[in-house]
């Protein structure tokens, strides 16, 4: 008896069942290539693509964490700006000349409250649990009283770079420089009235007349002393630096009874009337923390007296503080702008990563993904063919030579 019919049928049946298993697996997984032996080139393409997608996912996670961190910094900068704007309004109110000593004390308390609020902002805890403005020392509150009771910065300027995209990194840390590094006064000089002054004169910066000279003065360490002499209706001044006279002259009256003189590259205006023997010291500007500045303003307001000479002394301090506030308003605005640039870079990188992920995923799908409609059609056809073969085999088996005798 020839058994080849049965052998061939069995082989065909096995092949069809194997094909059905393959098609069912492809349909259930959505993949036509799952092992290297199925299609080495397609498998390698998919493996490399999936690695790239994994890296892009990691970058996106890093981006989200940095955005959360810098978003908190952006909010803190905004709060600090509003606070300093409020203090500026308080100082301008005090300088208006319409506030009595009792109200000045009340304004002093407002500035003290603002200082506490600024300390709270400086010690903001970031979403990740670290102190936002501590730099790389995020486990330590960055702004604390030192041994003298003054608020000092205990953080650092450390930076941490993290990958946010192909060939792109972003700083993950924020430090407290915006609250500590601004220069006092107008950023070039600080003018202090002699505590023994008996006149109503004040000496205020009104801009640069020679930027190079002003910068050299600020970088130096030798202050300038301006002494006034009054004889009748004539007021003269003598400016000395390091014991050497650098300028003398008679003040020329300008509009509003103001007088002006130029020293160390800066134009200074004299308001009020200096008394004979009054003097002012012009010192190079040095960094002054925002906390020290607010304490200076609060002290000036709480200790203000009523005589014309005392009012002039207070106003001299407040005007210098007003210039210092402008330095910090600019410093914080600049820090916020730089923070915004990084946030924008993160947004751009995230958009690019998403587009790249989509493109790579398409490449992976093209290499390994099954054509679902075609696979389902092939499965149906194969199962139909198998069923037909089984039926035919069953009919063949029922045949017998006795039916033909």
For 353, the token pair is 């990563």
H or E segment to which residue 352 belongs:
helix 308-368
Residue-level pLDDT at 378: 60
Q: Is 23 helix (H, G, I), strand (E, B) or coil?
A: helix
Ramachandran region of residue 105, left (φ > 0), alpha (ψ -120 to 50) or beta? alpha
The pLDDT score that the predictor gives to residue 402 is: 43
Do residues 138 and 160 lie in contact, with contact meaning Cβ atoms separated by under 8 Å? no
| Integer Cα distance of 44 and 52 in angstroms | 12
Q: Indicate the pLDDT class of residue 43, thresholds 50, 70 and 90.
A: confident
Q: Is 4 exposed, middle or buried (0-12, 13-18, 19+ CB in 10 A)?
A: exposed
pLDDT at 344: 86
H or E stretch covering 295: helix 290-302
Q: For residue range 183-242, what is the model confidence (pLDDT) as tens digits?
A: 999 999 999 999 999 999 999 999 999 999 999 999 999 999 999 999 988 999 999 999
pLDDT greater than 70 at residue 77: yes
pLDDT value of position 401: 46
Instruction: List alpha helices for 132-221, DSSP H.
Output: 211-219
pLDDT in tens, 142-158: 999 988 889 999 999 88
From its phi and psi, is residue 97 left (phi > 0), alpha (psi between -120 and 50) or beta? Answer: left
Task: Identify the weakest region by mean pLDDT among 66-75, 205-214, 374-383.
Answer: 374-383
Kindly state the average pLDDT of the residues 246-256: 75
Beta strands in 39-167 (DSSP E): 143-145, 151-153, 161-165
Q: In this predicted model, which residue has the larger pLDDT, 48 or 89? A: 89
In sequence order, which residues have a C-beta less than 8 Å from that of residue 236 and are 6 or more positions away?
228, 229, 248, 249, 250, 251
**pTM for this prediction:** 0.78
Q: What are the tens digits of pLDDT across the range 103-134?
A: 899 999 999 999 999 999 999 999 889 999 99
- Please give the average per-residue pLDDT across 335-341, as a whole number: 90
How does residue 341 score in pLDDT terms, banded at 50, 70 and 90?
confident
Instruction: Say if CB 211 and CB 267 are below 8 A apart.
Output: no
Cα(193)–Cα(283) distance, rounded to whole angstroms?
11
Residues near 115 by Cβ (< 8 Å), separated by ≥ 6?
291, 294, 295, 298
Residue 44 pLDDT: 83
55-70 mean pLDDT: 83
Positive or negative: CA dihedral 213, 215, 216, 222 = positive
Check residue 69 and give its pLDDT.
86
Average pLDDT estimate for 313-340: 95
- Is the pLDDT assigned to residue 32 strictly greater than 80? no
Work out the percent of the chain whose per-residue pLDDT is above 90: 53
Residues 106 and 271: their CA atoms lie apart, in Å, by 27
SS3 105: helix
Distance of CA 176 to the CA centre of its chain: 11
Question: d(Cα 323, Cα 315) in Å, to the nearest integer?
Answer: 12
CA–CA separation, 62 and 83 (whole Å)? 32
Among residues of the chain, what percentage have pLDDT more than 70?
A: 81
Higher-pLDDT residue of 405 and 399 is 399
Q: What's the whole-number average pLDDT of the chain?
A: 85
SS3 172: coil
Question: Regarding predicted confidence, which is higher, 321 or 161?
Answer: 321
3-state secondary structure of 162: strand
The candidate with the shortest Cα–Cα distance to 87, out of 103, 109, 67, 59, is: 109
Tell me the torsion sign for CA atoms 42, 43, 48, 51.
positive
pLDDT at 1: 47
Determine the average pLDDT of the residues in 250-276: 83
């Amino acid at each position: 008896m020839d058994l080849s019919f049965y052998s061939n049928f069995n082989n065909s049946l096995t092949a069809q069942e194997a094909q059905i298993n393959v098609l069912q697996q492809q349909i259930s997984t959505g993949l036509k290539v799952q092992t290297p032996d199925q299609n080495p080139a397609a498998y390698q393409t998919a493996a490399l693509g999936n690695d790239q997608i994994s890296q892009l996912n990691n970058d996106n996670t890093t981006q989200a964490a940095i955005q959360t961190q810098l978003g908190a910094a952006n909010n803190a900068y905004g709060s600090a700006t509003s606070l300093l704007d409020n203090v500026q309004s308080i100082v301008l109110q005090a300088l208006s000349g319409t506030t009595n000593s009792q109200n000045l004390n009340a304004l002093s308390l407002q500035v003290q409250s603002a200082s506490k609020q600024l300390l709270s902002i400086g010690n903001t805890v970031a979403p990740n649990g670290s102190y936002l403005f501590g730099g790389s020392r995020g486990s330590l509150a960055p702004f604390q009283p030192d041994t003298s009771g003054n608020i000092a910065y205990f953080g650092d300027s450390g930076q941490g770079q993290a990958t946010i995209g192909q060939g792109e990194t972003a700083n993950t840390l924020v430090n407290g420089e915006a609250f500590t590094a601004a220069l006092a006064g107008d950023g070039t000089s600080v003018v202090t009235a002699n505590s023994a002054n008996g006149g109503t004169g004040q000496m205020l910066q009104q801009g640069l007349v020679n930027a190079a000279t002003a910068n050299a003065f600020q970088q130096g360490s030798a202050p300038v002393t301006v002494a006034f002499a009054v004889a009748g209706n004539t007021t003269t001044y003598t400016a000395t630096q390091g014991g050497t006279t650098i300028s003398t002259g008679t003040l020329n009256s300008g509009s509003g009874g103001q007088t002006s003189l130029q020293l160390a590259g800066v134009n200074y205006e004299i308001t009020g009337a200096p008394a004979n023997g009054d003097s002012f010291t012009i010192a190079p500007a040095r960094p002054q923390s925002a906390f020290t500045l607010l304490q200076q303003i609060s002290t000036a307001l709480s200790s203000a007296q009523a005589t014309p000479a005392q009012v002039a002394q207070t106003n001299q301090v407040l005007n210098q503080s007003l210039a210092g506030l402008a330095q910090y308003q600019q410093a914080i605005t600049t820090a916020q702008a730089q923070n915004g640039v990084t946030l924008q870079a993160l947004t751009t990188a995230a958009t690019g990563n998403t587009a790249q992920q989509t493109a790579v995923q398409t490449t992976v799908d093209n290499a390994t993904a099954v054509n679902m409609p075609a696979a389902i059609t092939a499965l149906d056809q194969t199962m139909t063919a198998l069923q037909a073969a089984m039926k035919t085999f069953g009919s063949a088996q029922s045949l017998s030579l006795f039916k033909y005798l």
